[in-house]
Amino acid sequence: MKKNIVLFVLFILPIVAYLFFASGVNGYTKLPTLKSNTAEFGNWQALNGEKVLLTGKITILGFSGYDLLNTRGNLFNLNQKIYQTYHKFRDVQFVYICPIGTENDAKKVIEALGAFTDMAQWKFVFASPKDIEAYYAQLNLVEKLDDKLGTPKIYIIDKKRNLRGRKKDKDSKEGYNTFHPAELSNEMKDDFKVILYEYRAAFKRNNNASRKI
């Protein structure tokens, strides 16, 4: 009996654990597309003057609203749970759309996070309230922005500007609530891994095809 237990622990249990983690907690091998062809940003100004684009980037997209300083804890959660792990991937960016007039608030947030974080992949872009409302509306999300043009939720946009998320009757998810660290650590991290796996697998396939040619 002891011998059988030892054999199970040494050989069977690792295989079971591998299959569980390889399959992904959410059960997806490809994260569903919730909306195709998300609009590019308008001619909006970033803090450093650069032109921020969605195309060609995996984007974590957020809407700060006018309450950026009071909700900076949400950005801290996102920074700790997701950004710190994945910001070194050069095709990943974290973009917050902010109302014009909140530039100084954004600078304060950057300064606070920058004390212990490489902020290269954090982007803050600024638009008029009307443009923010119009941009959010074209995402066709169930939830609406609050009265300060913000939301605690963030969204995954892939390199082709498709909104990605979970699409099941009992497990649908358009966005991830930054107010809840556990949601970022579990659902979002799991889904983000699926997105990265997609691009890694595609990269390997393209490389193999090139070698055959």
DSSP string, 183-194: HIIIIIHHHHHH
State the pLDDT at residue 200. 79
Residue 67 tokens read as 């309450």
State the pLDDT at residue 55. 96
Q: How far is 51 from 159, CA to CA, in rounded Å?
A: 16
State the pLDDT at residue 5. 57
The full set of domains in the chain, from first to last, is: 26-212 (3.40.30.10)
**Residue 96 CB neighbour total at 10 angstroms:** 23
Q: How far is 153 from 50, CA to CA, in rounded Å?
A: 25
* Beta bridge partner(s), residue 63: 97
Query: What is the tens place of the pLDDT at every residue in 24-77?
Result: 444 557 899 999 999 999 899 899 889 999 999 999 999 999 999 999 999 999
State the pLDDT at residue 169. 60
State the pLDDT at residue 12. 58
How distant, in Å, are the alpha carbons of 31, 76, 94, 109, 207 from that of 54?
A: 18, 23, 10, 22, 24
Q: Could you identify the residue written with the tokens 């710190």?
A: 84
Burial profile 98-110: b = 16 or more Cβ within 10 angstroms, e = fewer = bbeebeebbeebb
In which residue ranges of the chain is pLDDT below 70?
A: 1-28, 169-171, 202-213
Q: How far is 70 from 66, CA to CA, in rounded Å?
A: 9
**Nearest CA-CA partner of 164 in 77, 76, 54, 89:** 54
Q: How far is 183 from 57, CA to CA, in rounded Å?
A: 23
| Residue type (1 letter), 90 | R
State the pLDDT at residue 58. 96
